[in-house]
A = this chain, B = another copy of it.
């Protein structure tokens, strides 16, 4: 298991990611409220969903940067570079 290799998300980044993700959750709740009324315009919903997706993408950037910095650049020293590269490509690959 990945967990057991001790490659944990940096504590400070984890706090930042939690804060951002709480904001994403609040944004999703906002869209859910929009959807409670029957007078909601499709394009307004699409705009909100796009904004939520963008916020989520930025959360991902934080985690990715932290992972690169703390775990990927040291993978050869640890000797787990094959696993590190293959699991990263699984996430980053073009669709």
Residues of chain A having any CB pair with chain B under 8 Å? 2-3, 5, 7-9, 11, 14, 17-18, 21-22, 24-25, 28-29, 31-32, 35-36, 38-47, 49-50, 52-54, 56-61, 63-77, 81, 84-85, 87-89, 91-95
Give the secondary structure class of A's interface.
helix
Report which of B8, B49, B69 forms a contact with A81, defined as CB distance below 8 A. Answer: B69
Count copies of this chain in the complex.
Answer: 4
**Known interface pairs A57-B53, A68-B89. Does A14 touch B35 (Cβ–Cβ under 8 Å)?**
yes
A25 touching B28, Cβ below 8 Å: yes
B35 touching A21, Cβ below 8 Å: yes
Using A58-B94, A72-B75 as known contacts, list a sample of 12 further A-B pairs with CB atoms less than 8 Å apart, ordered by residue number in A. Answer: A3-B44, A5-B41, A7-B42, A21-B31, A28-B28, A42-B63, A46-B67, A49-B56, A49-B59, A68-B85, A73-B73, A73-B85
